[in-house]
Structure 1
């Protein structure tokens, strides 16, 4: 039995299946971990969701910001942008079932035996494992509630910037959602910067990748994340694994065989995309 971790698929279904074939993935005995952003950008979001759902207990995934964006479009809280290539999914006969399944997916995966944590964007430097679990659960409960349209409408915001356990209501949910699905940089005091996307080598001043700040997270746990494709899987400390390598931008899809710490890559089929 093996655990396979794959970065953001973003609707690149053909590359996704080709990568799984390289490791002879078997859903009867293996486990597949996905860093979120299953949909959008690529042309086959519908196929990706259908396949992921079919894996049942063999799948451990987290929701990303583009998955939340899809939920917001479905709830009529945002417009369907043609560049996201979601029309086929939104008009599919099984869209209701797929959206219902997506709403039930977590924002955080923790395996205490593997000492592995997965989230889409990262873990805030001022969170330990218990805080991260509590924050993720609050968002997951909101996604399953009747208040989901209002939450999705307000979730994509640049504030608040600074964490406090005393945050309440919308601002608390907004901060937690930004951390788990959109975070890249923090200031030295842990406050979020939601503007910059450049690679760390181009940054100046008091901004740091979240994974380079001192962490409260228990040190025996590794963190796997996606979201930050411009990193190209590089520049993180030991035990921090950046897995989004920008397949939807014409680069490649990356898989990490956890037990062997071995990487497999699948280059994008450029003839099938409009980048």
Structure 2
């Protein structure tokens, strides 16, 4: 039995199947933990989502920003963008089953047997892990009750940039979502810069990669995240593992075997 954490699939079914073969995945024995962004930009978003759904008894995934974008489009809260590769999902006969499963995916998954936590973009440095769990649960609850329409209608936007416990309603949901699914650079107060997508060593003035914040709260738990392909799987920080190695951009798809921290790759 082995547990694997896998980076952003983004519709790259061929690479995903390659990786499953390379790790000799056995659904009677192994478990997969996916870092979100299962769909979009890649060549086969529908096939990828179907494959994950087929394996759902042995797969858990967090939600990424592209997954939430798909759900917002399906809900009618926004339109597809020019570079989206979501049309086949939206037109598929099994879309309701696929999207229903996706919407129930969490923002945060704890892996206690590995002393690890998985999110799409990371854990905000000035949040404790207990705070992160609580805030993730808030949004997960909204996504699956009568407020989901209001959530999707107000999900997009970069403001407020910083966390404030007094926030309520859509502003609060948006800030929590941005921290879990879009975060890269933060300032000393933990506020987000959501316009810069480059390498970690080229932050905007006054900002730093979230995992290099000098007062990061949780340093005992292994943090697993995707989202930031420009890192090429390297953070330079112990117990902070970047999983997105840019498959959709011509890089590779990576699985981290959690039992011994071995990396397995398939070129894309």
Asked if 2 retains the 8 angstrom alpha-carbon contact of 1:236 and 1:242, the reply is no
Residues 74 and 90 in structure 2, CA contact (< 8 A), matched pair in contact too: yes
2:167 & 2:204 partners in 1: Cα distance?
A: 30
For the Cα contact (< 8 Å) 2:225–2:243, is it kept in 1? yes
TM-score, reference length from structure 2: 0.96
Q: CA deviation at 1:82?
A: 4.4
Q: 1:239: which partner in 2? A: 239
State whether structure 2 residue 36 is matched by structure 1 residue 5.
no
CA contact (8 A) 2:72 2:152 kept: yes
Unaligned 5+ runs, structure 1: 269-275
Three-state SS of the structure 1 residue aligned to 2:33 is strand
2:139 maps to which residue?
139
Match of residue 184 from structure 1: 184
**2 CA distance for matches of 1:53 and 1:96?**
12
| Alignment: residue pair count | 267
Q: Distance in 2 between matches of 1:108 and 1:149?
A: 22
Instruction: Indicate the residue corresponding to 2:71 in structure 1.
Output: 71
Question: In the aligned structure 2, how far is the partner of 1:229 from the partner of 1:91?
Answer: 29
Structure 2 residue 216 is matched with structure 1 residue 215: yes
Within-5 A mapping of 1:98-117: 98-117=98-117
- Deviating runs (4+, > 6 A) in structure 1? none
Q: Deviations over 1:126-158 (max 9, x none)?
A: 111111111111111111112212211211210
The secondary structure found in structure 2 opposite 1:43 is: coil
**Equivalences for residues 148-227 of structure 1 within 5 A:** 148-213=148-213, 214-217=215-218, 219-227=219-227
What is the Cα deviation at residue 69 of structure 1? Answer: 0.2
Deviates more, 1:44-53 or 1:176-185: 44-53
How well do the aligned residues superpose, as a CA RMSD in angstroms?
1.2
Alignment partners' CA distance in 2, 1:191 and 1:212:
14
More moved, 147-156 vs 21-30 = 147-156
**Cα deviation, residue 234, structure 1:** 1.4
**Please, which runs of 5 or more residues in structure 2 have no aligned partner?**
none
Distance 1:136 1:177 in 2: 8
CA distance in 1, matches of 2:174, 2:87: 27
Q: Check whether the contact 2:121–2:181 (CA below 8 A) recurs between aligned residues.
A: yes
Aligned-residue offset at 1:57: 3.0
